[in-house]
Chain A
Amino acid sequence: MRFIDIKVLIWKDIQREFRSFHQLGAVIAFLSGTSYLVYFFSGKETFEEWNLLFWIVYLFVSFFTGYRVFEEELVKYRVLTYQLYHPNVIYLARNIYLFLLLVLLGILLFLIFNLLMPISVGYLFDWFLLLITFNIGNSIILSFNSFLSSQSVNQTLMFSVLVLPLTFPLFGAGFLTSLLLLQGGHILDSGSQLKIMVGINLFSIALVSILLPYIWKN
C-alpha cells in the first residue's frame, strides 16, 4: 500500500465530486434548507434544543453523504479499477475522502447554525476535535455499509436500515459530548462518552481491516 496511490485516489474522488457537483450541491442545499427551517420554526433556542437539532440534521447529512461512496460504480468499472489499484487502497482512499467531507460538512453546518441561531461554545478547538473523533468511526461504518448495500437492490433504503442501528451509539456519544462542550466543558471532561467513541473507532478499524479482504474478492 503506497501513500501516493491513496493521495491520487483521494484527488480523483475530489475531481469526480466537482465534475458532478449537483450531488454534493444537493447535500449542501439540504443542510442549509433544514438549518433555515429549524431557525424559522423553533424561535429562541436552548442549549439542549440547539444540540439536538444540530445532531439530527447532521445524522441525515451523514447518511446522504455516506451512501454515495460506493453508489455509482458498475461492476465492469470496479473490475477495471481493481486492476489498477489494490481494492484495500481504493477503500481506504474513499474512507479518507468521506471522513474529510463529513468533517467539512460538520463545520459548515456548525457555522450555518451559529449564523442563524448564535450560541457560544466555550472551546472551539474541542468542538473540532469532537468532529474529528466522531467522524473517524462514522466514516468507517458508513463507507463499509455503503459497500455492503451497494451489492443489494434498493441501495438507499438498505443503507439506512444497515447503518442506523450501527451508528446509534456513536451519535449518542457525540450528542452528549457536544452538549457538554456547549455548557462550557472540555472534551476530556466527557470521560465515558469519549471512551465510547474511541472504542467504536478502534473496533471499526479492526473489523473493516479483517473483513474487507474477504468481501472485495466477490
Chain B
Amino acid sequence: MRFLGLAWWKWMSIVLFVYVITRGLLVPLKPGILNINPSRFQVGQSVEFEIEGYNSFYTKATPRVFFKISDQYLCRADSIEVISETKLKIKHLFHNYLPVNQKIVMASVIVDSEVDGASVMPSKLILSQDSIELEEGIAAWTLDKPAQFNLKHKYHFPFRNILYETIRNTFFHVSLWFGMFALMFGSLYYSYRVLKYSKPEDDLRAYSMVYVAVIFGVLGLMTGSLWARFTWDTWWTNDIKLNMAALSMLIYIAYLILRASIDDPDRRAKITAAYNVFAVVAIIPLIFVLPRLTDSLHPGNGGNPAFGSDDMDNALRTVFYPSVTAFILLGFWMADLWKRVCVLDAQDSLDFD
C-alpha cells in the first residue's frame, strides 16, 4: 500500500490512459451528413438527389429535410424517401426565385429526425436562378411557422465535416504537445537550478526531460502529419505552425548534439543549461506568437478560435482534459526513468574506470 501511495501519480496516469483510450475510441460520433449528390441545381424545376448520412438511423424515424440560405431563409423538402439507415432520396420543386440579390447562391441542408436530432451540411447545395425577384424569393423561402428542430441529448462526440472520426486524434496529437511543453518548462526549471546550484542531478533531470520532450514532439509531428493526410489531403503543408513546430524540434535536437559534444561533465552541464534556457524562451514566440500573426490552418492561429464551441464541445472536453493530464504525467514518469538509466550508466562508467 505504501508503494501505491508513493507512486500515486503514476497509477493515476495509467488509469487516465485506460479511460482516454476506451472512452476516446469507443464513444460514437453524433449523426451527420456525409454527402449530397448531385448538389448543383437550377431553381424552378423539380429535382432529385440523395443524402448520405453518417451514424444515422433514418429507418427508425423518417426525418424532415430543410434547405437554408443565409441564416434566415428556410424551405422544407417536398418528398423524402428512406432508402436505408444512412440514405435518403429527396424530391423537391425549388421555387422560381431565390431570396437573394445574386444569381448563384450556396445553401445548407438540414436533416432533422426524432432519433438522430438535427444535422447540418453547410453550404453544400449550389442553386442558380435566371432572373432576380427578391420579394417572391423571400416569400417562397419563409416558413409559415418557425421550424422546431429536435435536440439529441445522448453522449456523442461532434460530427465535423472533413474531420469525421479523426476528431479523436485531438486526444493524442494535442495532448502530446501539452506534454512536451510541460516537460520543456520542467527542464527549464532544472536548467535554472544547474546554473544556480551546479548540482549534477539537476543536469540529468533537465536532460532527461528534454529527451522525452523531443520524443513527444516527434510523435506530435507524426500524429499531426497523419491527421493532415486525412483532413487536408497532404502529409505536410506550408502552414506556419507546422514549420515552427519542426523548427522547435531542430532546436532541441541541437541541444542533444551539443550535449554529446562536450566531454567534461561540469562544463557540459553549464553550457547545455544556458542553451536550454535560451531554447525554451525562443520556442515561446515560435509556437505561440508567430503563428498568430499570420494565416494558419490550425485552430487558435491566424484569427481562428482555439478550443471554442466550433472545434471543442463538452463531450470532447470530458476526454481531452484527462488525456492532457495523462500525457503530462506519463512524460514526467518517462523522464524520471530515463534519468535513472543515466545515473546507472554514469555509475557503470565510473566502476569501469
In angstroms, Cα B258 to Cα A211, docked, is 17
In angstroms, Cα B285 to Cα A46, docked, is 32
- Which of B195, B258, B282, B286 sits near A148, CB closer than 8 Å? B258
Query: Which of B29-37, B146-154, B231-239, B266-274 forms part of the interface with chain A?
Result: B266-274
Query: Which of B220-228, B287-295, B307-315, B331-339 forms part of the interface with chain A?
Result: B287-295
In angstroms, Cα B281 to Cα A145, docked, is 15
Tell me the interface secondary structure of chain B in the complex. helix
Which residues from A are CB-within-8-Å of B267? 151, 218
> Quick check: B271 and A169 within 8 Å, CB to CB?
no
Contact digits for B247-284, partner A, Cβ 8 Å, 1 yes 0 no: 11011011001100111001100110111011101100
> Quick check: A158 and B261 within 8 Å, CB to CB?
yes
Q: How far is the CB of B193 from chain A (nearest CB, A)?
A: 11
Q: With an 8 A cutoff between CB atoms, is A215 at the interface?
A: yes
> Quick check: B254 and A148 within 8 Å, CB to CB?
no
Contact digits for A125-167, partner B, Cβ 8 Å, 1 yes 0 no: 0000000000000000000110011011110001001101110
Which residues from B are CB-within-8-Å of A166? 251, 278-279, 282
> Quick check: B278 and A211 within 8 Å, CB to CB?
yes
Q: With an 8 A cutoff between CB atoms, is A85 at the interface?
A: no
> Quick check: B277 and A211 within 8 Å, CB to CB?
yes
In angstroms, Cα B101 to Cα A55, docked, is 50
In angstroms, Cα B76 to Cα A161, docked, is 63
Q: With an 8 A cutoff between CB atoms, is A182 at the interface?
A: no
In angstroms, Cα B293 to Cα A160, docked, is 28
Q: With an 8 A cutoff between CB atoms, is A168 at the interface?
A: yes
In angstroms, Cα B253 to Cα A189, docked, is 36
In angstroms, Cα B273 to Cα A185, docked, is 42
In angstroms, Cα B196 to Cα A210, docked, is 12
Q: How far is the CB of B238 from chain A (nearest CB, A)?
A: 12
> Quick check: B271 and A151 within 8 Å, CB to CB?
yes
Q: With an 8 A cutoff between CB atoms, is A196 at the interface?
A: yes
In angstroms, Cα B271 to Cα A207, docked, is 14
In angstroms, Cα B263 to Cα A204, docked, is 27
Q: With an 8 A cutoff between CB atoms, is A25 at the interface?
A: no
A–B complex contacts, Cβ < 8 Å, 16 sampled: A148-B274, A148-B275, A151-B267, A151-B271, A153-B262, A162-B258, A162-B275, A164-B254, A165-B247, A166-B251, A166-B279, A166-B282, A207-B277, A214-B195, A218-B267, A218-B270
What is A's interface to B at a CB cutoff of 8 Å? Answer: 144-145, 148-149, 151-154, 158, 161-162, 164-166, 168-169, 192, 195-196, 199-200, 203, 207, 210-211, 214-215, 218
- Besides A207-B281, A215-B195, 20 other CB < 8 A contacts? A153-B263, A154-B261, A158-B258, A161-B254, A162-B275, A164-B254, A165-B251, A166-B282, A168-B247, A169-B286, A192-B294, A195-B293, A199-B289, A207-B277, A210-B277, A211-B195, A211-B278, A214-B196, A214-B274, A215-B270
